[in-house]
């Protein structure tokens, strides 16, 4: 176990790397806490929840909506939850997003913490304070930027993770390597999913490296006016596709990263689109795909990062070095065809 | 017109006292703004809304709920509102609460401003950054503490204000006098509602004094861990009554202030409950009232400021000097009988 305190603009987050869910009771008082989880995590790890007030949600992104938040808030009111309570999200990104958002608005804000249960949540979704819910086909249209008080890692939770969820997590890890860390990109090229799954120390080091990489970006730009946008590499098109098709988040952003890499060749002189595509494929991710261009453009034009008729698109200059460039909706539409 | 910049922890608010709604276009770009208002304000002051994107809500506290916020967000998405937009609430406290909350969560936060149209909103509801919606019988159970970018005053909007709304506003003005300003208390004892309605300068001075008084309290304790609680004088019981009966906010907190003044006699040696009751009655407010004690206690015990079985109750030591004391639910229950 390693403890790191990561400081943000108005707050800090206590990270407990490679630790155990048993430590949770040292971070939050079970009598003054509510755990939010989903039925899959609850069924796979029943011991975690013994002696805690627990609200169990249906699993899936389709439940990451305001109605779910409303129902959670009503249950918390019924339980008599006051401002001294901590809300703990134990689960993947959907759960940490709902828990962070609900804690931010319940009685105008209560303490919250996360125990991420997926690789994606460990290396990305739980980090940086962004939370919220989807509205119709539009992802994360409502939410807050608010840091949790703590994030507790227990890698043994990954033992119940289906194969597809590993692939999902590696999509964000590859994204981090693309935008910030050529050394990690090379390590990923040398290894494979199974090397990380078999060697716990190698995995723990990879997770911690990704957490600190993302935190460094967020620390420089917590409220997303500049560098934090780099984390959206592959996400602009990715989000447009994700809710339209039966794609996981990782699959959608993998296609998005492929598109952004090729666009980078046209607009920022990037030479290594083939290496990005190759790495994504090695980790079981889709790269080129048929999709409805018109529908994708429709969703892109509602992107929350859009300013007038231009999207700030994240491109690569080289492996490990991202830039943001304004790209017109017109240009995107042509590039997509 | 007087401009004052009021600084808070992470932000500041630009106040424009005794100004005009015509100034709004200098504070927000009409092409990149949405005004939120209610049908009463929209009908009474149509000129304000010409050339602005406007969303008009039904009037009334019963619409201060998440469903309304959801509908506003859907309309903003349809309008293509992006992060460069400003959301302006033109109306009473319900509108400024909904506008502030919606701006805080829409795309994780956009700029917002207020043009308060009632005395209550001018001297209280629009100030201090608290916003949110009700959940069932529980007031303001969900929301944020987030300051608007600007607050623009136009006292001519009060010309369309019904009598009951003047009374409502004076309840909060009397509260401010009780907890912080014995001089203002004496001025209020000498004057009456009609003196302020007839003399615009006297009213403008009273409004500005109340705004700055509340802001000083909020500046010291933006996130309500101490002194800001004094602003809840009369509100603990008031909120419990407000949604239970056909009472306005002002009427409910007037009964709450009466109860708190008498409780102050028992618990903090307060000698002037009769003066508080007299002043409230002079301004047309109810003081003693029959109500369902059991129901009130049920709602009190869900109060969001409750910690375990104690409520931090705001009491008076003397006119102009409030204190917060923990009072057990048991004691309150006895005092109410």
Q: Is the pLDDT score of B152 beyond 90?
A: yes
Whether A176 is catalytic is: no
Count of beta carbons in the 10 Å neighbourhood of residue B9: 14
Burial code (b: 16+ CB inside 10 Å, e: under 16) for A26-58 equals ebbeeebbbbbbbebbbeebeebbeebbbbbbe
Angle between helices A182-190 and A200-220 in degrees, nearest 10: 160
Cα within 13 Å of Cα(A187), Cβ side: 17
Report the residue of B31, B107, B224, B299 to disrupt the A interface, i.e. the one with the largest count of A CBs within 10 Å. Answer: B107
Instruction: Give the torsion sign (CA, A33, A38, A41, A42).
Output: positive
Reply yes or no on whether B172 is catalytic.
yes
Structure tokens of A205?
A: 């080091």
The answer for residues whose C-beta is within 8 angstroms of residue B194's C-beta and 6 or more apart is none
Angle made by CA atoms B117, B118, B120, in degrees to the nearest 5 = 140
Which pLDDT score is estimated for B300? 78
User: Can you give the pLDDT at residue A336?
Assistant: 79
- Find all residues with CB under 8 Å of A113, minimum gap 6, and list them: A27, A28, A86, A87, A88, A89, A148, A149, A150, A151, A152
Residues in chain A with pLDDT values less than 70: 303-308
What are B91's strand-pairing partners? Answer: B116
Is residue B139 very low, low, confident or very high in pLDDT (cuts 50, 70, 90)?
confident
Q: Is A232 a catalytic residue?
A: yes
- For the question of residue A239 being annotated catalytic, the response is yes
Identity of the residue in A66, A77, A308 whose CB atom sits nearest the CB atom of B135: A77
- Name the residue with tokens 């190698």: A202
Q: Which residues of chain A approach chain B closer than 8 Å at the C-beta?
A: 9-10, 66, 70, 73-74, 77, 80, 82-84, 104-109, 130, 132, 135-136, 138, 140-145, 223, 301-302, 304-308
Q: Contacts of residue B104 in chain A, CB cutoff 8 Å?
A: 144
- Residue A84 to residue B308, Cβ atoms within 8 A: yes
Structure-block tokens of residue B104: 């805080």
Return d(Cα B265, Cα A108) in angstroms, integer: 32
Residues of B with CB under 8 A from a CB of A: 9-10, 66, 70, 73-74, 77, 80, 82-84, 104-109, 130, 132, 135-136, 138, 140-145, 223, 301-302, 304-308
pLDDT of B259: 92
Compute the CA torsion angle A324, A327, A329, A332 (nearest 10 deg). Answer: -90
Q: If you measure CA to CA, which chain A residue comes closest to B79?
A: A302
- Decide if B300 contacts B329 (C-beta within 8 A): yes
DSSP tag of B230 = G
Residue B298: pLDDT band with limits 50, 70, 90: confident
CA dist B146 and B131 (Å) reads 8
Distance CA(A308)–CA(B222), nearest Å, equals: 35
A222 is catalytic: no
Per DSSP, the three-state class of A306 is strand
The single-letter DSSP state of residue B110 is -
Chain A residues in contact with B145 by the CB 8 A cut-off are 108-109
* Confidence class for position B205, pLDDT limits 50, 70, 90: very high
Q: List the single residue in A83, A141, A304 with the smallest CB-CB distance to B304.
A: A83
Distance CA B216, CA B229 (A): 13
Q: Note whether A141 contacts B302, CB cutoff 8 Å.
A: no
**Interface predicted TM-score of the whole assembly (ipTM), two decimals:** 0.89
Distance CA A97, CA A144 (A): 10
B228: annotated active-site residue: yes
Of B214, B229, B230, B242, the catalytic one is B214
Q: pLDDT, tens digit, for every residue of B267-281?
A: 999 999 999 999 999
> In chain B, which residues have their Cβ closer than 8 Å to the Cβ of A80?
301-302
b/e sequence B248-284, b meaning 16+ C-beta within 10 Å:
bbbbbbbbbbbbbbbbbeebbebebbeebbebbeebb
Helices B163-180 and B200-220 pack at an angle, to 10 degrees, of 50
B108 tagged catalytic:
yes
B305: pLDDT strictly greater than 70: no
Q: CB-based contacts of A253: which residues, under 8 Å, 6+ apart?
A: A171, A172, A175, A234, A235, A238, A242
Residues of B in contact with A140 (CB under 8 A): 108
> How are beta strands B33-38 and B86-91 bridged, if at all?
parallel
Name the H helices within B112-234: 119-120, 163-180, 182-190, 193-198, 200-220
Contact between A60 and B284 under an 8 Å Cβ cutoff? The reply is no
Q: Is the pLDDT of residue B260 over 90?
A: yes
Q: Which residue of A has its CA nearest to B65?
A: A70
Q: Is B239 a catalytic residue?
A: yes
CB-CB neighbors (< 8 A) of A107 in chain B: 141-142, 304
- H helix or E strand, kind and range, residue A55: strand A53-57
Q: Which of B251, B230, B261 is nearest to B170 (CA)?
A: B251
């Amino acid at each position: 176990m390693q403890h790191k305190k990561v400081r943000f603009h108005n707050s800090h987050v206590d990270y407990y790397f490679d630790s155990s869910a048993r430590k949770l009771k040292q971070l939050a008082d079970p009598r003054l806490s509510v755990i939010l989880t989903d039925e899959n995590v609850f069924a796979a790890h029943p011991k975690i929840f013994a002696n805690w007030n627990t609200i169990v949600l249906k699993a899936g992104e389709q439940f990451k909506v305001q109605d779910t938040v409303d129902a959670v808030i009503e249950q918390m009111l019924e339980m008599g939850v006051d401002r001294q309570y901590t809300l703990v999200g134990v689960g993947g990104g959907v759960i940490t997003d709902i828990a962070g958002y609900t804690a931010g608005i319940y009685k105008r804000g209560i303490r919250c913490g996360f125990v991420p249960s997926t690789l994606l949540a460990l290396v990305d979704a739980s980090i940086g304070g962004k939370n919220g819910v989807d509205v119709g086909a539009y992802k994360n249209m409502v939410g807050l930027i608010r840091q949790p008080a703590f994030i507790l890692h227990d890698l043994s939770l990954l033992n119940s993770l289906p194969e597809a969820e590993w692939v999902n997590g590696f999509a964000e890890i590859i994204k981090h390597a693309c935008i910030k860390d050529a050394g990690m990109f090379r390590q990923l090229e040398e290894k494979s999913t199974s090397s990380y799954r078999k060697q716990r120390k190698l995995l723990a080091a990879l997770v911690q490296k990704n957490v600190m990489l993302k935190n460094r970006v967020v620390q420089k730009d917590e409220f997303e006016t500049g560098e934090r946008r780099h984390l959206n590499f592959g996400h602009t098109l990715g989000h447009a596709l994700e809710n339209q098709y039966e794609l996981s988040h990782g699959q959608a952003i993998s296609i998005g990263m492929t598109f952004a890499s090729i666009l980078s060749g046209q607009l920022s002189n990037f030479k290594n689109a083939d290496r990005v595509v190759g790495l994504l494929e090695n980790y079981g991710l889709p790269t080129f795909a048929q999709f409805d261009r018109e529908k994708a453009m429709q969703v892109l034009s509602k992107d929350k990062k859009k300013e007038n008729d231009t999207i700030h698109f994240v491109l690569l200059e080289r492996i490990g070095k991202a830039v943001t460039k304004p790209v017109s909706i017109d240009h995107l539409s042509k590039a997509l065809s």
